[in-house]
Amino acid sequence: MFHKAIIFSLGMLTLAGCNAQKKTKTPDSTSGTTANTSGPKSSVQKEGVIYLNQGENKFLKEYEMNVTFKGVSEDSRCPEGVNCIWAGVAVAQIEVMGTYTRPVVLLLASSDNAGRNYYMSEEFNGYTISLKEITPFPKSEGGVKALEGKYKVALTIKKADGAANPNPTRK
């Protein structure tokens, strides 16, 4: 009888623990989804800016494309609090895929420099995708390695104007 009471008690504690985990996980995942979905969607409609965290993926219904911020392939920006000769550049890897197209990785830089093949905007599927901002900025003590996984980008997507692109061979 004593064994049955112990086993029953352990079973109840286990179920209570599972229920407590569900209660704590559900609001975080729901509010995170709501915040990520409603915040950027409202900013897309109002300002035309889409915000993505590193590794985040969004399907943009109004553009019929899926956008994923894969990561940062280069960040040579001058760290805060340091005097540099060159301001540097950060290059974000943005994977885009239209409803009927294969995925394409665009390399969008924080500044234009055609000599180094850095472009802030690229064309894809009739739209011009531009990098407006990449944060956070490197710090002198941690450097770029401390920022891995913490990057965020701000993108704009506009209908491409065929006459505006002087180099039709670019994506």
Interval 25-47: pLDDT, tens: 433 333 333 334 434 443 343 46
> 3-state DSSP call for residue 42?
helix
The sign of the CA dihedral 108, 109, 112, 115 is negative
Q: Which DSSP category does 112 fall into?
A: -
Q: Which two tokens stand for residue 11?
A: 């079973």
- Over residues 115-140, the pLDDT tens digits come to 888 999 999 989 999 999 988 887 77
Q: Which two tokens stand for residue 150?
A: 């913490």
Q: How confident is the model at residue 69 (pLDDT cuts 50, 70, 90)?
A: very high
- Over residues 78-121, the pLDDT tens digits come to 887 788 888 889 899 999 999 889 999 999 999 888 888 899 99
- Main-chain phi, psi angles of 154, to 5 degrees: -120, 125
Q: Give this prediction's pTM.
A: 0.63
CB 120 within 8 A of CB 107: no
d(CA 165, CA 123): 9
d(CA 171, CA 157): 14
Domain coordinates in residue numbering, the chain: 42-164
